[in-house]
Amino acid sequence: MSPTKSVFQYIVMLFCLMAMVSCSTTTVHVNKSYLNESESKNIKNRLEEIGFNVEFNEHAYPNDISSTTILYSPFLKEVSAVDNIENVLLDLGYDINSINSLVASNHWYTKNTMGLYIVPKDVVPNDGKSIEDIAKQYKSVNCDTLAELNLQENGTFLYRQKGEASVSGLWSITQYPYIILEKSKPYLDFYFEIKKSKKSVQISNMEIIELQPINSSDIISDCKLTYVVRL
């Protein structure tokens, strides 16, 4: 056998071996919509340590998924893959309420892939994410500037600040939990981060939605704006 042919066969065998290893690695699609960067990195590292390939996404949660869920293909090559992921999540403090094969709300997982939806405690997927949920009248609290922001369900806003002319324009949810206020003249491109919480005061409970400014503007003050409703 000539040296050239031997080297060629070696390269072919090496390529085939690499392809087999690549194909045999289970890919886990992790939805990180409710995870911060630290949590996402920790989960990725732990799963990669035991041989999984991890890919993140922030797709909308299926309506029938309300708690931490593992979805898997029935064609998984490693039967123990589901158990391995379950053990990692339990070790990280996540309770797993559902393990399903094939499909959830039309999310299909193909050969040797898995889907992972992680729902931290006190989080309700898709709760409060729509325009209707955010369209409220917000006011500044504990700020030197008296300001008021009215977000309408039709996607328009009206901003008032004491001593200044009112400003109107368009608003939208860019990627939850962020919204943007936009206007062409005068130019406005202003972002808020949405922060939701609940608080108990004496005999009643309150739901609080806060809009925390992300950038600065000559038109919008840097005050945190708040909406409060008694439940």
Question: What are residue 181's DSSP bridge partners?
Answer: 171, 190
Q: Which stretch of DSSP H or E encloses residue 3?
A: helix 3-24
Here the tokens at position 111 are 């050969």
Domain ranges of the chain: 3-117, 131-230
CA distances from 173 to 129, 177, 193, 194 (A): 8, 8, 10, 10
Expressed in angstroms, the distance from the first to the final Cα of the chain is: 83
For each of the chain's 231 residues, which pLDDT tens digit applies? 555 445 445 444 444 444 444 445 889 999 988 888 899 999 999 999 999 999 998 877 776 788 899 988 887 888 789 999 999 999 999 989 888 886 555 555 667 889 999 988 767 776 667 788 899 999 998 898 999 999 999 999 999 998 888 999 999 988 778 899 999 988 999 999 998 887 777 767 788 899 999 999 999 999 999 999 876
Task: Fold for 131-230, please state it.
Answer: Lipocalin (2.40.128)
Give the C-alpha distances (Å, rounded to integers) separating 26 from 70, 106, 118: 14, 21, 18
